[in-house]
């Protein structure tokens, strides 16, 4: 079979890029079509800050009958590329029919483009952006995806393996029913210790004080997560953008902050899992799509699952019971009869973070989905070195 690789540089090609997965997953009831706007914004230099120190390219793949049978993107973020032992670029948004020749054509395009720009390896499938979106290949737990998370056919793994990609790190999405019967008693004991200490306070976020909570979020995030390789520092403008973006769907009960003598030390940030709504929008987020979303959220109340975006505690207060206090603060709402959320899925936790995995396992969560970030070394004699574990 002869395939044609076409760069995405026209409105028609952009549209074809968005529609490739519609064809690929047409018979898979678990797949949820992402919002077109969410995909296109990644490749818009006006909306994606990564273009300030990076570049990206996209292709679609057509067969001899001019039918779209695949797509892929390649990108370089110079700051992240230099953080690796060897300069490393990225590839993602890969979709393809179950045909190795087609997949290899897409992989070759990414490898050659990256090599021409001085890269010596490529990670994939990943995002040209933060790790909390479109990151990793789904290899186990083929349930409906969470908002802005990848879903893949099971055969994709064999396509990546056959080309020579190797695991860089594994990503685990934990699931938890909203009930107290699975929670380790140690968590409640820790929560009680914190509750008896007046120096500690647990507070819900307030929509009226987003500016203050943005400051607190930045302080906690940068101390808890910003020190890790591959995780950038958060700024106040970024935090405000994030909070304002989610403000229309923000449920104050889902965002818990911890303080010690009024200094921010930890948070548990959750939102309604929007894919339960988005699956009804067919990729459209125009005015009609926005109205339909708010109707489904506020009137029909179709969201019965909460998505844990990030859970963090600054190093000085880790292991003291703050995690228990945050869970208890959430439980005070969650276990009431009129609480709408019946289950929680946490945003993925890497295998390099055993401490955080232990925390979520103590609250009764179990792995439901497994993704893997893969790495392809251009020098085939070199081994892939996993990221160091964090404490």
Domains in the chain, CATH or no CATH each: 4-169 (3.40.630.30), 179-341 (3.40.630.30)
Beta bridge partners of 375: 123, 166
- Mean per-residue pLDDT, 261-270: 93
**What contacts 358, CB < 8 A, 6 or more positions away?**
none
Q: Quick one: average pLDDT of 152-167?
A: 98
pLDDT above 90 (res 378): yes
| pLDDT tops 70 at residue 323 | yes
Q: Are 159 and 94 in contact (CB under 8 A)?
A: no
Predicted pLDDT of residue 391: 56
For residues 1-22, one letter each, b for 16 or more C-beta atoms within 10 angstroms of the residue's C-beta and e for the rest, the string is eebeebebeeeebbebbbbbbe
User: What is the arithmetic mean of pLDDT over 235-253?
Assistant: 86
- pLDDT of the residue at 363: 76
Position 128 pLDDT exceeds 80: yes
Q: What is the mean pLDDT of the chain?
A: 91
- The residue-averaged pLDDT of 179-200 equals 81
Nearest to 81 by CA among 118, 134, 130: 118
Tell me the pLDDT tens digit for each residue of 173-187: 999 887 767 667 877
Say what the pLDDT of residue 95 is: 98
Q: Is the pLDDT of residue 343 over 60?
A: yes
Q: What is the pLDDT of residue 182?
A: 66
Residue 390 pLDDT level (bands cut at 50, 70, 90): low
Q: Kindly indicate the confidence band of residue 159, based on its pLDDT and cuts at 50, 70 and 90.
A: very high
More reliable by pLDDT, 236 or 184: 236
320 band by pLDDT with thresholds 50, 70 and 90: confident
| 191-219 mean pLDDT | 91
Share of the chain above pLDDT 70, in %: 97
Confidence (pLDDT) at 318: 82
Is the pLDDT at 228 greater than 70? The verdict is no
Average pLDDT, stretch 222-240? 78
User: Residues 367-388, buried b or exposed e (16+ Cβ, 10 A)?
Assistant: bbbbbbbbbbbbeeeeeeebbe
Percent of the chain with pLDDT over 90: 63
Residue with more model confidence, 180 or 373: 373
Please give the residue that has the higher pLDDT: either 336 or 272.
272
pLDDT exceeds 80 at position 225? no
Longest pairwise C-alpha distance within the chain: 71
pLDDT reported for residue 227: 62
What is the mean predicted confidence (pLDDT) over 329-335?
78
- Predicted pLDDT at 226: 66
pLDDT at position 261, please?
Answer: 95
- Which segment of 264-278, 294-308, 362-376 scores lowest on mean pLDDT? 294-308
| 73: preceding bond cis by omega (within 30 degrees) | no
- Pair of tokens at residue 384: 């892939």
- What confidence tens digit (pLDDT) does each residue in 15-52 have? 999 999 999 999 999 999 999 999 999 999 999 999 99
> How confident is residue 76, by pLDDT bands cut at 50, 70 and 90?
very high
Residue 229 has pLDDT above 60, yes or no: no
The pLDDT value given to residue 101: 97
Per the DSSP assignment, residues forming a β-bridge with 190 are none
Residue 44 has what pLDDT?
97
Least confident piece of the model among 80-94, 126-140, 283-297, 305-319: 305-319
């Amino acid at each position: 079979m002869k395939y044609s690789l076409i760069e995405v540089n026209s409105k028609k090609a952009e549209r074809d890029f968005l529609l490739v997965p519609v064809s690929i997953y047409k018979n898979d009831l678990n797949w949820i079509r992402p919002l077109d706007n969410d995909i296109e914004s990644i490749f818009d230099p006006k909306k994606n800050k990564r273009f300030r120190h990076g570049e990206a390219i996209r292709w679609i793949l057509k067969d001899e009958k001019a039918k779209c049978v695949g797509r892929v993107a390649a990108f370089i973020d110079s700051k992240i590329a230099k953080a690796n032992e060897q300069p490393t670029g990225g590839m993602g948004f890969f979709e393809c029919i179950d045909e190795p020749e087609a997949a290899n054509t897409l992989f070759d395009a990414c490898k050659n483009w990256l090599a021409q720009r001085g890269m010596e390896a490529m990670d994939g499938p990943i995002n040209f952006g933060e790790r909390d979106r479109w990151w990793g290949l789904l290899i186990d737990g083929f349930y409906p995806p969470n908002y802005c998370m990848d879903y893949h056919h099971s055969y994709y793994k064999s396509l990546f393996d056959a080309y020579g990609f190797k695991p860089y790190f594994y990503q685990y999405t934990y699931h938890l029913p909203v009930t107290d019967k699975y929670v380790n008693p140690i968590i409640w004991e820790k929560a009680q210790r914190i509750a008896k200490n007046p120096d500690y306070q647990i507070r819900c976020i307030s929509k009226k004080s987003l500016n203050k909570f943005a400051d607190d979020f930045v302080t906690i995030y940068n101390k808890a997560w910003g020190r890790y390789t591959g995780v950038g520092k958060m700024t106040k403008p970024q935090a405000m953008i994030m909070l304002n973006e989610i403000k229309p769907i923000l449920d104050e009960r889902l965002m818990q902050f911890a303080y010690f003598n009024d200094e921010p030390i930890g948070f548990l940030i959750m939102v309604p899992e929007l894919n339960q709504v988005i699956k009804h929008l067919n990729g459209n987020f125009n005015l009609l799509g926005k109205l339909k979303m708010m109707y489904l959220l506020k009137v029909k109340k179709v969201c019965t699952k909460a998505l844990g975006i990030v859970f963090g505690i600054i190093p000085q207060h880790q292991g003291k019971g703050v995690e228990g206090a945050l869970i208890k603060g959430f439980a005070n709402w969650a276990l009431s009869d009129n609480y709408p959320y019946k289950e929680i899925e946490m945003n993925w936790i890497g295998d390099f973070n055993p401490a955080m995995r232990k925390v979520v396992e103590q609250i009764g969560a179990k792995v439901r989905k497994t993704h893997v970030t893969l790495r392809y070394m251009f020098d085939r004699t070199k081994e892939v070195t996993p990221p160091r574990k964090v404490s």
